[in-house]
Structure 1
Amino acid sequence: MTPFFWNPSSTESILWVDDSTKNFCSLKSILKQQGYRLTLANNDTEALTKIAESPPDLVILNTFISNINGCRITQQIKQNCDLPFIPVLLIANCDQSSLIRGLQASADEFLMKPVEQKELLARVRSLLRLKHSINQRYQLARQRCEDFMIKLTHDLRTPLTSTIQLLQMIQKGNFGHNFSEIRKHLQLLTESNQTLLSMVENVLEVYQYEAGCKDLEFFPVDLWELAQKVVQELKPLAVVKNVALNVKLNNTQPSAVKVRGDRIELYRLLTNLVGNAIRFTDQGSVDVYLSSQDQRVTITVKDTGIGISKIEQLCLFERFRQGKHQRQGNGLGLCLCRQIVEAHQGSISVSSTLGKGSIFTVSLPAL
């Protein structure tokens, strides 16, 4: 999607809420000269009606006068989920109680009376920049979400289609009574469903982290023991591809590579990193190194695979991103790795050369 760049000279709509036509007319010409379109509302009801019918780009409230409750209008704007983001500028009396009430109402900005023209224009421009910045981020996030759903649907369709076709073939008796052949295809079905389950679990895990509802249980974890377990479990995948898979201590002792963390999440981290390395390595090896220095434990996963371009490395750990090579996925695995590492007060990085392999490095606080 092409990024939206705000043009400050473009026509913006401003709703001015004030029971005094005189106040409105005195500042209307100033704002109109800057290209803004102004509409006046004389009371709460009229203001909320106009906002609902045609949301303005900015609301300016001359608050705390007879028939205008700036707090009420501001709160209803901010609490209405059906409205886009609308910045609110309060014009308050020069007293502390007006200032406090304005801040409590969740206004985005305020001016104290009497209003200076230059200050008013500066606040208006600042709030409109804020609005368009938020709109742009929302549009980009929405587009990325839509792109992700398309990619995820595509990725889910492939193993699902394969599963359905194999089941139909077995149902039709295509393999006769050859139980060895049937067993082989049932194994393919199992692997396909495991891939689907892994993809769904990644989606749920990423959501939990981003929603702030992921509960972690921190206990001492022996990374040497955990890394050996992961390597042992993933060994069959490497054997099938004729890729050597090793785990080694790098100038350290097993007791030095212990951390305080959530064992399940650290297991998920290692499984993702080592599994990815095997997946994108067709010859050579995948090596996992553990080391300890300066109260930090380092996990290094090195492969001789297809590598990652410099451009892709810049956003590799972002959500909805993945490489452009033929074997691309939905891009959640490495995003999840970053979230797990950051939840453990650690860091993760990658260095890679196309055609020569990649090195993923995780640094965690030592126990």
Structure 2
Amino acid sequence: MPHAQKTRTSHVLAVDDTPDNLFLIKAILGDEGYKVNVAKDGMDALDKIAQSPPDLILLDIMMPGMDGYEVTRRVRQNPALRYIPILLITAHEQSSVVEGLDAGADDFIRKPFDTDELLARVRSLLRLKHSIDDREKMSQQREDFVSRLTHDLRTPLVAADRMLHLFQEETFCPISPEMKDAIAAMIGSNQNLLQMVNTLLEVYRHEAGQKKLTFAPCDLGIVAQEIFQELHPLAQEKGIHLQMDVQPMANSLEKQEAIVLGDRLELRRVLTNLVGNAIKFTDTGFVKVRIFKDLKDPEYSTSQPSTNSTAWMVVEVEDTGSGISPEDQENLFKRFRKGKHKRADSGLGLYLSRCIVEGHGGTIHAQSTVGKGSLFTVHLPVTQA
């Protein structure tokens, strides 16, 4: 009688070089309602897995040509495959459980196996498989919903922004100064919400792999200068001094250049976010941007530098603001991790900045002391032509 837990037909691939063993496994699992395919060796198994990934692999270890350990490693190293549980089967006492588990197997059973034990292990691994699949499906559905929602939200927000500006410009009728102030506040709130929706949409594009970066030579010094011109009124209003220092590059003694190969729009988004945050959290003092070339790899980098890169372009954004607590620094670049500061926003801006920087093969890092200010450092690889 089929086990009551199975509500869907599970596909199992049995791999063994002995036909009798395959016949036995197919008979046992077939009686339980599983759909069983068989493979006679490692290469045959890899071909069948690539063509039609099963829900579970029962894999003999000792096979000619390619043993079960190697098959397991190749399955785990294939990025195109979703997670497939692997149950290793062997008749040899010397077979290494450690080697099998280190290769990526999930469980291990020896021949001659007890039928009830085999079925119990199969059920256990399939529960794990279906649980992971269901969780991934729910996650994908949630992300699709948020992506569609952000798309749909932009239309009324943009329309409201245009209408508010028409009211403010007295297009329809004269309005009082008090009404103009109220409309200005509404415009500001609407723009903040629109910016949040746009940021959320960009985050999901990056996470879904839908964001395509357009790489071209980009002068970070010019980008920073543009951002300074845009944000200067805000800094001036707060009495903050904006400073920029672009150090001369090698072979560019007559002209200060800070050129990387990157997506100008996305890198501009990163610098705007960092400089904007620095102004936002600074009440007195300065915000300073330094751009220079460095031949050393960043000490905090967790990824290997690009093989095409012989140097790094470094962007530092320093401020004399309120600083960031050690607890908040741990989650600074994580998704939806809002800081405890009263001015902290949704926590998406720095996460998106990290996605963009890492998409360029770079790194982003922060150092901060509460009450003394912060230093954000971005390393971007300089690709040689």
Q: Is the 8 A contact 1:220 1:260 kept in 2?
A: yes
The amino acid of 2:56's aligned partner reads V
Confirm whether residue 123 of structure 1 aligns to residue 101 of structure 2: no
Asked whether 1:217 is paired with 2:218, we answer no
Asked if 2 retains the 8 angstrom alpha-carbon contact of 1:246 and 1:287, the reply is yes
Would the aligned equivalents of 1:299 and 1:362 in 2 still touch at CA under 8 Å? yes
Displacement of 1:115 after TM fit?
7.6
Partners of 1:60 and 1:288 in 2: CA distance: 58
Once residues 317 and 90 of structure 2 are traced to their aligned partners in structure 1, the CA distance between those partners, rounded to angstroms, is 63
Structure 2 residue aligned with 1:304: 320
| 1:283–1:60 CA distance, 2 compared to 1 (3 A) | same
Residue range with higher mean Cα deviation, 111-120 or 274-283: 111-120
Contact map agreement 1:285 1:303 (CA 8 A) in 2: yes
Structure-2-length-normalised TM-score: 0.60
User: 1:23 maps to what in 2?
Assistant: none
Q: Distance in 1 between matches of 2:86 and 2:318?
A: 51
Q: Note if contact 1:307-1:356 (Cα within 8 Å) is conserved in structure 2.
A: yes
Cα separation, 1, equivalents of 2:87 and 2:64: 13
User: Contact conserved, 2:337 with 2:347, CA < 8 A, in 1?
Assistant: yes
Classify 1:122/1:361 alpha carbon distance in 2 versus 1 (closer, same or farther; 3 Å). Answer: same
CA contact (8 A) 1:90 1:107 kept: no
Cα deviation, residue 177, structure 1 = 5.8
**1:263 and 1:91, CA in 2 relative to 1: closer, same or farther beyond 3 A?**
closer
CA change 1:182–1:239 in 2 (3 A) is farther
Deviation of 1:191 (Å): 2.0
Aligned to 2:37: 71
CA–CA distance in structure 1, aligned partners of residues 108 and 61 of structure 2: 17
Aligned partners of 2:259 and 2:188: how far apart in 1? 33
Matches within 5 A, 1:233-312: 233-250=230-247, 254-294=255-295, 295-312=311-328
Which AA in structure 1 matches 2:329? Q
Aligned to 1:337: 353
Deviation at 1:91, TM superposition (A): 5.5
**Matched AA of 1:240:** E
- Give the total of aligned pairs: 291
- Aligned equivalents of 1:245, 1:189: Cα separation in 2: 28
Conserved 8 A contact 1:63-1:70: no
Q: 1:91 to 1:351 in 2, by over 3 A?
A: closer
Normalized against structure 1, the TM-score is what?
A: 0.62
Q: Which moved more, 1:177-186 or 1:216-225?
A: 177-186
Letter in 2 for 1:293: D
- Contact kept, 8 Å, 1:244 with 1:284, in 2: the verdict is yes
- Aligned position for 1:194: 191
Residue of structure 1 in register with 2:369 after alignment: 353
1:108 maps to which of 82, 85, 99: 85
CA distance in 1, matches of 2:292, 2:226: 17
Q: For the structure 1 residues 118 and 360, does the alpha-carbon distance in structure 2 shift closer, same or farther, using more than 3 Å as the test?
A: closer
* 1:122-175 CA distance string (max 9 Å, x none): 6379x87x959x97xx69x97xx99xx9xxx9xx9xxx9xx99xx8xx9xxxxx
The counterpart of 1:232, out of the listed 229, 232, 239, is 229
Structure 2 letter corresponding to 1:111 = L
Change (3 A) 1:64 1:189: farther
Residue 291 of structure 2 aligns to a residue whose secondary structure is strand
CA distance in 1, matches of 2:276, 2:327: 23
Query: Secondary structure at 2:37's aligned position in 1?
Result: helix
Cα 1:98–1:358 change in 2 (3 A) is closer
Q: Which residue is equivalent to 1:34?
A: none
Cα distance in 1 for partners of 2:200, 2:22 equals 46
CA distance in 2, matches of 1:360, 1:278: 13
| Corresponding residue SS for 1:205 | helix
Cα shift at 1:185: 2.9
1:320 matched residue in structure 2: 336
How far did 1:183 drift?
2.9
Aligned-residue Cα RMSD (Å) equals: 4.9
TM-aligned CA deviation for residue 205 of structure 1 = 0.8
Alignment check: 8 A CA contact 2:312 2:379 kept: yes
Distance in 2, Cα, partners of 1:216 & 1:115: 52
Distance 1:90 1:357, change over 3 A: same
Show the counterpart of 2:78: none
Q: Distance in 1 between matches of 2:22 and 2:193?
A: 56
Kept in 2, the 8 Å contact 1:349–1:362? The answer is yes
Aligned with 2:225: secondary structure?
Answer: helix
* Map of 2:203 onto structure 1: 206
Distance 1:248 1:96, change over 3 A: same
